[in-house]
Amino acid sequence: MRGKTIVVILLVAMLLTPVQAGDVSVSQSDPEDDPRQPREGNTTLYVFHDGMNNEWSHFNNTDEDSTEENETREDKDNGVIDIKYRFMMKPTLDKRLNMTVGGEIRGNFNIYYEGDNANGGDGNCNNDCDWLNISVFKGAAEIHKHTEQPWVSGNWKNIIFSYTITEEDAIWDSVNDNPIVEVTMKVKGDLQGGFLPGTTNGGTPAAFGMKLGSDGSVEFPIDDSSWNEDFQAGIDETPPEESPGFTLVVASAAIAMAVFINAKKPEDEE
C-alpha cells in the first residue's frame, strides 16, 4: 500500500507542474512585407494626393504617385473652395491591430489658406465657410474630430492634436476598421476682376494648401501584441494561472490521493 501512495503522490506532482506554451510572440515582419502596411517599428499613417482628384494614405512615408512638390493646393479668385479630402488607407489594412488603451493617436499636419473662413465676421462669408476640421476614422466610425480655429490668412500653420485610446477603440479589425483621415475646410475669396484684362477692383482670392508624406501624418499607439501570431489568428491569450480546468484537475488528484490513503487505514488496523 505504501507503494501505491508514493505513485499517487508522484502523479499529483506531475499534474501540478505547469506546462508552459512555446513562445508565440513571433514577429511577422520580414523583408517581403508590404511597407505600406503597419509593422513593428512603423506605426505612422501618412497622407498623399496626386494633385487632381485622388487622395489616399498608408504607412510608408513616400509614394511615387503623389505630387512631386509634396503638397496639394487649390486656388479660386472669387467664391468658395470646399475642401473635403478623405485619405483612406490604400491598400486596405491587412492585419488586426491592438491599440494601447491610454495611449495617444497623434496628428501632425501643415495647412495653408488665403481668403476668409469665419462666418459672422467682417469678411465676406455668409454661413458658407467653415474652419479646418481633421477627423480620424476607424472604418465607418469617427473616433476623433479636431477643429482648428482660424489663424492669420496667407500663412502656413503646423496643426498638432492628440486623442487618448479607450477600451472601445482598442481592437481594429482588418476587415471593417480600415483607417481614414478626413480633412475639411471652406475658404472664400472675393477678388473682383477689373474692366481691363489683368486688373482687379480689389478683394482677396481664396487658396488652400496642405503638405503631404512626412509633413502630414497620424501616429497610432499600436501595441506590440499586434505582431503576435495568436492575436492575428484571433486567439485570446490566457494567463497560465487562469487555464480552464486547472482547478478541476487539482481537485480530482486530491480526491484520488485521499481514496488511496483511506484505503490503507483498514489494512494497518488489521
Q: Say if residue 20's pLDDT is above 50.
A: no
Range with lowest mean pLDDT among 30-34, 82-86, 151-155, 171-175: 30-34
Q: Say if residue 203's pLDDT is above 90.
A: no
Q: Say if residue 230's pLDDT is above 80.
A: yes
Residue 124: the pLDDT is 82
Range with lowest mean pLDDT among 58-62, 139-143, 199-203, 222-226: 199-203
Q: Say if residue 218's pLDDT is above 70.
A: yes
- The sign one gets for the Cα dihedral 170, 174, 177, 183 is positive
What percentage of the chain carries pLDDT values higher than 70?
71
Residue 123: the pLDDT is 72
Residue written as cell 517599428?
41
Q: Say if residue 93's pLDDT is above 90.
A: yes
What average pLDDT does range 249-260 have in this prediction?
52
AA identity, residue 189 = G
What average pLDDT does range 212-235 have in this prediction?
94
What average pLDDT does range 12-31 have in this prediction?
47
Residue 196: the pLDDT is 61
pLDDT digits (tens, 9 = 90+) for 108-143: 999 999 999 888 767 788 889 999 999 999 999 999
The grid coordinates listed for 232 are 492575428
Residue 255: the pLDDT is 53
User: What is the rounded distance in angstroms from the CA atom of residue 165 to the CA atom of residue 151?
Assistant: 29
Q: Say if residue 241's pLDDT is above 70.
A: no
Residue 201: the pLDDT is 66
Question: Which of 182, 181, 132, 189 has its CA nearest to residue 158?
Answer: 132
User: What is the rounded distance in angstroms from the CA atom of residue 103 to the CA atom of residue 77?
Assistant: 43
Position with higher pLDDT, 126 vs 202? 126
Q: Say if residue 61's pLDDT is above 50.
A: yes
User: Is the Cβ–Cβ distance between 121 and 209 less than 8 Å?
Assistant: no
User: At a CB cut-off of 8 Å and minimum separation 6, what does 260 contact?
Assistant: 1, 4, 5, 8
Position with higher pLDDT, 127 vs 161? 161
Q: Say if residue 173's pLDDT is above 60.
A: yes
What average pLDDT does range 263-268 have in this prediction?
52
Position with higher pLDDT, 193 vs 70? 70
CA angle 54, 60, 65 (to 5 degrees): 35
User: What is the rounded distance in angstroms from the CA atom of residue 96 to the CA atom of residue 230?
Assistant: 11
What average pLDDT does range 81-99 have in this prediction?
97
User: At a CB cut-off of 8 Å and minimum separation 6, what does 195 contact?
Assistant: none
DSSP 164-204: E--GGGSEE-TTT--EEEEEEEEEEEE--B-SSTT-B-S--
Its pTM stands at 0.75
Going from N- to C-terminal start, the domains of the chain cover 2-20+240-269, 44-227
